[in-house]
Chains A and B, each alone.
Chain A
Amino acid sequence: EAAVTQSPRNKVAVTGGKVTLSCNQTNNHNNMYWYRQDTGHGLRLIHYSYGAGSTEKGDIPDGYKASRPSQENFSLILELATPSQTSVYFCASGDAWGSNQAPLFGEGTRLSVL
């Protein structure tokens, strides 16, 4: 069964600290995405990737880095976390086209930056 697994599921970080959110998919999807969800803003794209070694800036990339070391793994890195980055983060994966094109979302990571 297709799955996207995020870790950790919950994280409390201090301002100025480094935070790494991890995402793993076993669906052999080429495309992976990182979104954040805040009340009133829906899902906003931070970074995405077409495949291993590629990362692209989404609509709100400032303050975030991404890494795609393999087809299966896509990480989101907050080098210097700020309270404004408190949010729920969703990773997703999808094919470039076809029946598995629509992004399949992970369970989410709730991040609080104090």
Chain B
Amino acid sequence: GEQVEQLPSILRVQEGSSASINCTYENSASNYFPWYKQEPGENPKLIIDIRSNMERKQTQGLIVLLDKKAKRFSLHITDTQPGDSAMYFCAASADTGNYKYVFGAGTRLKVIA
């Protein structure tokens, strides 16, 4: 199977707190995991990614964790701001000759001021 489950579907957090989004995947060959942010009416834009040779990656208030044993990866947004309000999508891909990207269903994040 190649499904990616993403939870929660809706997330409301207070400004300044952290937000966490979790994804699980089925394909054990998956080795690349990008995260996208999508503003209303716009296209999804890459915000951070992680490869299977890493367990943690951090950039500009974003942290991605990868647990290959559990087939789980997560996005953590620290010190959330109203501008972080958007849809977030996780994705998984296996570059074993099949470069399909399977996306999660998305998380709508609302940061409350």
Q: Are the C-beta atoms of B100 and A96 separated by less than 8 Å?
A: no
Interface of B is mostly: strand
Please give the number of chain B residues whose Cβ is less than 8 angstroms from any Cβ of chain A in the complex.
23
Assess whether B100 is in contact with A45, with CB atoms less than 8 Å apart.
yes
Q: Which of chain B's residues has its CB closest to A33's CB?
A: B101
Q: A40-B105, A41-B105, A97-B95 are in contact. Are A48 and B46 (CB under 8 A)?
A: no
A105-B100 in contact (CB<8A): no
Digitize A66-101: 1 where CB-to-B-CB distance is under 8 Å, 0 elsewhere.
000000000000000000000000100010110001
When distances are taken between beta carbons in the complex, the residues of chain B under 8 Å from A96 are 95, 99
> Given A97-B95, A105-B43, A107-B43, A45 and B105 touching (CB < 8 A)?
no
Complex-state Cα separation, A102 to B95, whole angstroms: 11
| Residue of B42, B89, B93, B101 with highest tally of chain A CB at under 10 A | B101
Cβ-neighbour of B99 out of A41, A42, A94, A108 (below 8 A): A94
A3 to B99, CA, bound (A): 20
Per a CB cutoff under 8 Å, which of B6, B49, B100, B104 touches A102? B49
Partner of B43, one of A40, A90, A94, A101: A90
Q: Is the CB of B101 within 8 A of A106?
A: no
Q: Are A42 and B101 in contact (CB under 8 A)?
A: no
Shortest beta-carbon distance from A99 to chain B in Å:
10
Contacts A42-B89, A102-B34, A102-B49 given; does A58 touch B43 at CB 8 Å = no
Question: Would you mind naming 19 contact pairs between A and B with Cβ atoms under 8 Å apart?
Answer: A31-B99, A42-B6, A42-B103, A42-B104, A43-B44, A44-B103, A45-B100, A48-B99, A90-B43, A96-B95, A101-B93, A102-B32, A102-B34, A102-B49, A104-B46, A105-B36, A105-B44, A105-B45, A108-B43
